[in-house]
Structure 1
Amino acid sequence: MREPHIREIVCLEPSALALRLKGQRHLTLLESVMRSEHLGRYSFLACNPASSLEVTAEGTFLDGTRQDTDALTLVSRILAANRQRHVPGLPPFQGGLAGYISYDFGRQLEPDARIPGFAALCPDLVLHHFDCVAAFDHMQERAWIIAESAARADQFEALLNGRPRPLGSHAITGWQSNFTREDYETAIARTVEFILAGDIFQANITQMFEAAIPEGFDPLAFYRVLRLKNPATFAAFMDYGTVQIASSSPERLLRHDGAAVEARPIKGTRRRDSDPSRDANLIADLTSSRKDRAENVMIVDLLRNDLSRVSKPGSVKVPVLCGLETYANVHHLVSVITSELKDGLGLGELIGATFPGGSITGAPKIRAMEIIAEIEQAPRGVYCGAIGYLGFNGKADLNIAIRTAQFADGVARVQGGGGITARSNPAAEYEESLTKIKRIMEAFAP
């Protein structure tokens, strides 16, 4: 088992250091902007990976070479071949795979589902093998380079000590949705009909806003504004050449600490209000809402079922049910489900059992995914997929990529929506979809 090289460095703001890495290959920033001891403690920064795993419509590729093995089996093999001792006292990601899994990758995990093969917005999966990473502990205000060797640490430290690269514009205007308000409300009503007919209990329906990327636009400049407008526990920025991603997600898909698994689904949302009295009323309305609690409990049951497929019998627990969490723009109901992974299973099997996250599909999951595809008539790309890391030390943390903008082929895309149940009001659901992306659109404003 390999021993990493560890070097403490000055703890600067991770997004500021990202400016010094701008232009390096596959820049990856996983950042806790809204900081707390339990959810927002760590950030990670990496670039210039040793190798790259990519899944496209043409197949699965490792460093550009087509593979006959499926992607999650390859993930398990790569993690096993590069096992590394976890160093206590340091942030949990100490080298490994990092990147994203798109929502549309879920179609490969459910080949019997009746989901059209939409033209992809980006590769279905991109995971880079980072043998060198800068890791930040915001509670201790300390940072380290953790590398395969001293030579790799030297190279990375030289980049981190370089001059910040200039930024372009963060502004984009001229957004258009793929739904009119009337069409979106009709789509919600149709989803309710599916529910009343017994097809599903709920489905997460979204609309997509698109705009042409203007000359001079800089995705990293946009992320720098977004992280201030909408600070989040599971934020991320990635520049992967053909696609750039800026995420300010508050939601964890799953965390694995080497033994225990944790999922934190969000279901139930109210906007925030600057007036404390009105804000308190919105909180009271959310926490007392039978519709929102029912929606949350349904997804908790779905995730308990997903996790039970790969967890030790009797280990699946729900320590928090419909807890309140508050963010920059919204209040959420969040539940916590924990379990212990079965002996002999790894992160590849865990992802295969839980992806895509139930909170952004619905229940039952496969039928909900079919109805989503039928109603939205579009791929989702990274949105509603997952962003994060799978460490060589057995640690892993993946967000659900909501509150996320993606840039590819000259088009910027932002999506927003919500969970639909039998009690859903189409007009209210339309307004909620706009509330979800309000801070993102403010970050694009000139």
Structure 2
Amino acid sequence: MDDLRDLTGPSAGARVEVRRLDPVPDLGALAAAVEGDLVWLDSALPDGAPDAARPRARWSVLTWTDGPFGARFRHQDRQASVEVAAPAAGWFGPSSSDDRPAFAVLADLLARTPQLPEPIAGCGFALGWVGFLGYELGRESGGPDRTADGHADADLRFVDRAVVVDHTGGAWALTLVADAEPAASAQNRAWLETVTRSPSTADVADAATGLPAGVSSAVGRTSRADHERAVDACRAEIREGNAFQVCLTTSFSVPGRGREARVGPGTDPHLSDYLRMRASDPVPFGAYLRLGPLRVASRSPERFLRIAADRTVLAEPIKGTRRRLADAAADAAVRDELAVSAKDRAENVMIVDLLRNDLLRTAIPGSVHVERLCAVETYASVHQMVSTIGAVLPSGTSPADVVRAAFPPGSMTGAPKISAMAIADRLEGAPRGVYSGTIGYFSASGAVDLSVVIRTLVTVVDASGGGVDPVEVRSRTLGAGGAVTWSSVASDEADEVVTKTRSVLGAVGAVATW
């Protein structure tokens, strides 16, 4: 039965119209039918996952970026651009360029976004801005002065069409209407009718099959020996007192794509790769993004920040990883060893302290607290150590300011943050791009939910031009790394890097090689 409701908000007659979908659609099938850009925030958990992890994996959101109220915030080469569809100009102003820092422009956009109540009880998403913030935006918080290579440092879309799935039961289509824009509102109401006739799984190819034949090599940007030397260089910096922990990363060039057909219904090969990834590795913060020249397939288990509409904040850093084993007894022993590992607990506690400090910059004094410390959670391919830090924001605080104060995610920098980032940047010698940044949403309700971009395949294509001519794949990379402390062993750190590549590379028929 349809459940059609108007939810009135305070912004000039703007509101969300909601229709319950029955049966619950297959979001993979819906995503495969989308021709344009999309953002899919895709939650799941493996069987036997701990109860503490279940709230993180309750909601999935699939968004369309081509609605009549659409807008785009993009930041590249230190220049912000805002592209606004005419019906949304009353909120965001005309399309423009801006030389100010990315987070300052984002704060203005969030302040102008129509304020809308949560349309689905318990779900913070009420339409709004979706996409990614790349690692190099950390320069605005004292990080290295780099920009991403070949793509934007940030790309967020204001979306007015979405399907939300509650994995405890239920699904809804959401769309934005406004009294002052009857033509645009009529387009969105028409979309609301058509999306209820969603394709079944049978309408698209079964992307969980068809793994590329053979096994190819994903070649590291550096050799294993060079990475081990970089680990020892981090330890030397720690010995000299320049850091306590350094998150050292590298990347692997992933083969398998040359020229390929332009995207049409059911023809996005990168989405097919992602569907294979999710079939083998359920995680609470999976995501697939198709944004201009970027294809981002993420299997992240880690939340960066959640800001609820009531101004409570949650951070859930992960530090400490072990590969799962096929033998149940051996696997349990590995999990138990991680739980008591002094090295991994030290890594985790350092990042907890770092995030407490980051949150204190914007939170109400005395509200920052640790809810969980060094809990071990099990996923399909790894065991991981997770902590939870909470805080409360004062009234009127911009979510953009909260994110900027904690950016980049501390689990991807080390501590102290600015010094650790400088050390890592010198040793890595290259930008990280989307990897080590965040993916998620800034909702029109005021809620924010952002993941840490790890276990993520990032592809850049030549998306210029139009028509049906093939596009050229410019790059296809997977970042991986780990926290280096004084007690780190270089060979063990190199092994951990390879462990962290397996869940993604296995889905595309590749293995990491140094």
TM-score (norm 1): 0.94
Instruction: Work out whether residues 147 and 153 of structure 2, in 8 Å CA contact, stay in contact via their aligned partners in 1.
Output: no
Question: After the TM superposition, which residues 97-176 of structure 1 pair with which residues of structure 2 at under 5 Å, given as runs?
Answer: 97-110=129-142, 113=143, 115-117=144-146, 120-140=149-169, 142-149=170-177, 151=186, 152-158=188-194, 161=197, 164=203, 171=212, 173-176=216-219
**In structure 2, what is the Cα distance between the partners aligned to 1:160 and 1:220?**
22
Shift of 1:232: 0.7
1:257 aligns to what? 308
Question: After the TM superposition, which residues 65-76 of structure 1 pair with which residues of structure 2 at under 5 Å, given as runs?
Answer: 65-76=96-107
1:422 aligns to what? 486
1:85 aligns to what? 117
Amino acid at match of 1:18: A
Query: Where in structure 1 are there 5+ consecutive unaligned residues?
Result: none
Say if 1:119 and 1:80 are closer, same or farther in 2 by CA, change over 3 A.
closer
Q: Deviations over 1:150-189 (max 9, x none)?
A: 6314225525636556688764934211111111111111
1:8 aligns to what? 20
Instruction: Work out whether residues 82 and 97 of structure 2, in 8 Å CA contact, stay in contact via their aligned partners in 1.
Output: yes
Indicate whether 1:19 and 2:32 are aligned.
yes
Shift of 1:31: 0.6
Indicate whether 1:240 and 2:269 are aligned.
no
**In structure 2, what is the Cα distance between the partners aligned to 1:133 and 1:105?**
27
Say if 1:157 and 1:413 are closer, same or farther in 2 by CA, change over 3 A.
farther
2:258 aligns to what? 214
**In structure 1, what is the Cα distance between the partners aligned to 2:59 and 2:440?**
12
Shift of 1:220: 0.4
Match of 1:293 among 338, 341, 345: 345
150-159 or 179-188, which deviates more? 150-159
Indicate whether 1:332 and 2:384 are aligned.
yes
Indicate whether 1:391 and 2:419 are aligned.
no
Instruction: Work out whether residues 229 and 442 of structure 1, in 8 Å CA contact, stay in contact via their aligned partners in 2.
Output: no
Shift of 1:228: 1.2
Instruction: Work out whether residues 322 and 334 of structure 1, in 8 Å CA contact, stay in contact via their aligned partners in 2.
Output: yes
2:42 aligns to what? 31
2:59 aligns to what? 42
Instruction: Work out whether residues 296 and 458 of structure 2, in 8 Å CA contact, stay in contact via their aligned partners in 1.
Output: yes
**In structure 2, what is the Cα distance between the partners aligned to 1:343 and 1:302?**
24
Say if 1:170 and 1:376 are closer, same or farther in 2 by CA, change over 3 A.
farther
Instruction: Work out whether residues 33 and 232 of structure 1, in 8 Å CA contact, stay in contact via their aligned partners in 2.
Output: yes
Shift of 1:235: 0.3
**In structure 1, what is the Cα distance between the partners aligned to 2:292 and 2:120?**
34
Say if 1:287 and 1:37 are closer, same or farther in 2 by CA, change over 3 A.
closer
Shift of 1:65: 2.7
Shift of 1:131: 1.5
SS class of match (2:370): strand
Say if 1:47 and 1:301 are closer, same or farther in 2 by CA, change over 3 A.
same
Shift of 1:118: 5.3
Amino acid at match of 1:148: L
Indicate whether 1:56 and 2:76 are aligned.
yes
TM-score (norm 2): 0.82
SS class of match (1:424): coil
SS class of match (2:115): coil
Larger Rg: 2
Say if 1:27 and 1:156 are closer, same or farther in 2 by CA, change over 3 A.
farther
1:320 aligns to what? 372
Instruction: Work out whether residues 178 and 207 of structure 1, in 8 Å CA contact, stay in contact via their aligned partners in 2.
Output: yes
Instruction: Work out whether residues 296 and 335 of structure 1, in 8 Å CA contact, stay in contact via their aligned partners in 2.
Output: yes
Say if 1:119 and 1:294 are closer, same or farther in 2 by CA, change over 3 A.
closer
**In structure 2, what is the Cα distance between the partners aligned to 1:58 and 1:103?**
13
2:502 aligns to what? 438
Amino acid at match of 1:146: L
Identity %: 33
99-108 or 308-317, which deviates more? 99-108
**In structure 1, what is the Cα distance between the partners aligned to 2:504 and 2:120?**
37
**In structure 2, what is the Cα distance between the partners aligned to 1:423 and 1:157?**
59
Instruction: Work out whether residues 286 and 292 of structure 1, in 8 Å CA contact, stay in contact via their aligned partners in 2.
Output: yes
RMSD over aligned CA atoms reads 2.0
Instruction: Work out whether residues 316 and 338 of structure 1, in 8 Å CA contact, stay in contact via their aligned partners in 2.
Output: yes
Indicate whether 1:225 and 2:276 are aligned.
yes
Say if 1:215 and 1:165 are closer, same or farther in 2 by CA, change over 3 A.
farther
**In structure 1, what is the Cα distance between the partners aligned to 2:458 and 2:336?**
34
Indicate whether 1:344 and 2:408 are aligned.
no
Amino acid at match of 2:41: L
Instruction: Work out whether residues 17 and 176 of structure 2, in 8 Å CA contact, stay in contact via their aligned partners in 1.
Output: yes
Instruction: Work out whether residues 102 and 125 of structure 1, in 8 Å CA contact, stay in contact via their aligned partners in 2.
Output: yes
Instruction: Work out whether residues 132 and 153 of structure 1, in 8 Å CA contact, stay in contact via their aligned partners in 2.
Output: no
